[in-house]
Amino acid sequence: MKQFLIIGILAITLHTVAQNKGIQFHNDTIFENVLAKAKAENKLIFIDCYAVWCGPCKYMDANIFPDEELGKFHNANFINLKYDMEKPYGAIVRKTYGIKAYPSFLYLNGDGEVIHRAVGSTENAADFLKISKLATDSENNFKAVDARITKGDRSAKTINAYLDMNYGAPNADALIEEYFAKTSEQDKLNAESWQLISNHVSSTKSPAFAFFVKNRAEFEKRYGKQEVETYLYNLMAVTRRKDPAAFEAMKSLDAGVFERLQQDIKKREAQRNQK
């Protein structure tokens, strides 16, 4: 209830962002009125949470939101809003709804409750349309998956869906650890477990990562060497930012992937210096 009261006090005075055939973003309104309008029209509220410096946010504006089919669906089912997360009102939205990356997308009901959420740009409008249609699916949207987690569902399918929609979830590590603690050795190697590892295990100290290291050859056999190396590459990049000491230690896991990342970093730094 607190988050609804916080958002309810926001007075937002903006101009209408017109896109001829795409998503029509509404402005010139107070957020309390948006909630009332959503209830009156039986619509959800869609919020594009962006930052002006965010490249993927600009891509969405230029290539995804103007799509005609996407616009038809959004304009019929949502009241569409945009917030710069680094402006005063956007900062309140960011803190209230736990926005941790850009672009993020919120789907709220008329009470300001999160029904669905997503993070990151999509390559095409069709993929984003799938996300928005999922928001209207009361059995599979974020609210439904969150309820299953709350009731104790710890299947890999449910945890994957929950973490896909809830970037930076504070309970992510605990959910993954619980799953791997209760799952058989054989099931830890299945496709849903691999999805959980490759998409959501970002700590070299995780028991799930230890299982991956121990069984790397089997994961490569089942899902391909390239998939495994891509996961290691991305994990090394994340670890380099978070824990330099742990990053150096990762060289022993795969010297080839480690060196490739180092070379890519040097190339990017050289390109920046040339600008």
pLDDT in tens, 203-239: 999 999 999 999 999 999 999 999 999 999 999 999 9
Q: Measuring CA to CA, which residue among 137, 120, 127, 112 is closest to residue 45? A: 112
User: Looking at 35, 54, 119, 232, which residue is catalytic?
Assistant: 54
pTM: 0.81
Q: Does 49 qualify as catalytic in the annotation?
A: no
Taking the C-alpha atoms of residue 260 and residue 180, their distance in angstroms, rounded to an integer, is 30
Alpha helices in 141-206 (DSSP H): 142-150, 156-165, 172-182, 191-200
Q: Where are the domains of the chain?
A: 2-136
| pLDDT above 80 for 69 | yes
| pLDDT above 90 for 7 | no
> What is the predicted pLDDT for the residue at 274?
75
| pLDDT above 50 for 261 | yes
CATH topology for the 2-136 domain: Glutaredoxin (3.40.30)
User: Looking at 34, 57, 135, 175, which residue is catalytic?
Assistant: 57
Taking the C-alpha atoms of residue 66 and residue 59, their distance in angstroms, rounded to an integer, is 11
- 31-44 pLDDT per residue, tens: 788 899 999 999 99
| pLDDT above 50 for 199 | yes
- 110-166 pLDDT per residue, tens: 999 999 999 999 999 999 999 999 999 999 999 999 999 999 999 999 999 999 999
Record the tokens describing residue 253, joined without a space. Answer: 């896991």
Which of 9-23, 56-70, 148-162, 259-273 has the weakest average pLDDT?
9-23
Torsion angle (degrees, nearest 10) of CA 139, 141, 147, 153: 80
